[in-house]
Structure 1
Amino acid sequence: MKKLFVFIVSSLLLFTLHAQNPVSWNFSSKKVSDKTFEVHLTADIQSGWHLYSQNQPDDAIAIPTSVKFNNNPLLQPDGKIKEVGKMEKFNDKTLGVSANQYSETVDFVQLVKLKSTAKTNVSGTVQFQTCNDKKCLPPKTVPFNIALK
């Protein structure tokens, strides 16, 4: 009986943790010239949830989204990562904090230049935190590996 109880509680806990994944990611590349590519890290955000921008106000307590690219001797990043989406500015006057956030979708776009004509991939991780009106989930790190073709 005790084993059955532990099994049921464990199953419910795992189901609850699995169900709380309000952001799905799509990773792709787009060739814009002979040796230049756009790398797209696109977040699709479930209704009622939001994802924080990389750039936060000084009074923010939100954990900003961050992207880390693995070293690749065949690639050179060109400029900063751009955020494409409808940024919302959140202000909580009671707590005295604010945040820059996205709902529904946001596309993080990085230009990269190839140093040669060899085929290669761009890889790394995106770390992010999502919140709704009631709670924030712990930060999550998702790896990516994108072919440049």
Structure 2
Amino acid sequence: MKKLSVLVAYILLTLTVSAQIKTPVKWSYAAKKLNDQEAVVLIKATIEKGWHIYSQHIEPGGPVPTSFSFTSSGDYATDGETSEPKGINHFEKVFDMDVIYFENEVVFQQKLKLNKPATTVKGTVEFMVCNDKECLPPDEVSFNIPIK
């Protein structure tokens, strides 16, 4: 019976180690206040070597594009679309289409109109990360960005 318990414990430990969650993207946030009525929030993805995330501008049938959702608030309003730098345009066989993606790091920017000089911008970013061997399921991360 003791040998069976040791065997079960070993199998569970092996499964736990092999099923560790991969997190090749780390997110960080900042805000730059332009004046009492305007600010820009900066949403930065730091991506492990060999991995990439996708642009917001992906045609249907491809990978999940990066997208931003800002929580409605009387303190602020988004001003235009979230901007992104020029990405890498590449044909991906798995999707049978050209896609735009980012490696290493990318900073997205969202302009805001402020109704209060100090507030906290809340929302989520949804993204998909892939490398040359696999794609992880889409993930969603919440953010809270103070503007002072």
Normalising by the smaller structure, the TM-score range is 0.7 to 0.9
Instruction: State the secondary structure of the residue aligned to 2:57.
Output: coil
Letter in 2 for 1:83: E
TM-score (norm 1): 0.87
Letter in 1 for 2:13: I
Match of residue 70 from structure 1: 71
TM-aligned CA deviation for residue 53 of structure 1: 0.3
What pairs up with 1:3-82 in 2 under 5 angstroms? Answer: 3-14=8-19, 16-17=20-21, 20-57=22-59, 60-82=61-83
Letter in 2 for 1:42: K
Letter in 2 for 1:64: P
Instruction: State the secondary structure of the residue aligned to 2:50.
Output: coil
TM-aligned CA deviation for residue 96 of structure 1: 3.1
Letter in 2 for 1:146: I
Equivalences, count: 143
Letter in 1 for 2:40: E
TM-score (norm 2): 0.88
Q: In the aligned structure 2, how far is the partner of 1:43 from the partner of 1:95?
A: 23
Q: Contact 2:39–2:111 at 8 Å: present in 1 too?
A: yes
Q: In the aligned structure 2, how far is the partner of 1:33 from the partner of 1:95?
A: 44
Q: In the aligned structure 2, how far is the partner of 1:127 from the partner of 1:95?
A: 19
Q: In the aligned structure 2, how far is the partner of 1:51 from the partner of 1:94?
A: 15
Q: Contact 1:80–1:110 at 8 Å: present in 2 too?
A: yes
> Is the strand fraction higher in 1 or 2?
1
Q: Contact 1:57–1:100 at 8 Å: present in 2 too?
A: no
Quote the RMSD (CA, aligned, Å): 1.8
Match of residue 136 from structure 1: 135
Instruction: State the secondary structure of the residue aligned to 1:138.
Output: coil
Instruction: State the secondary structure of the residue aligned to 1:8.
Output: helix
- After TM superposition, which residue ranges in structure 1, 4 or more long, deviate above 4 angstroms? none
Instruction: State the secondary structure of the residue aligned to 1:82.
Output: coil
Letter in 2 for 1:120: T
Larger of the two Rg values belongs to structure: 2
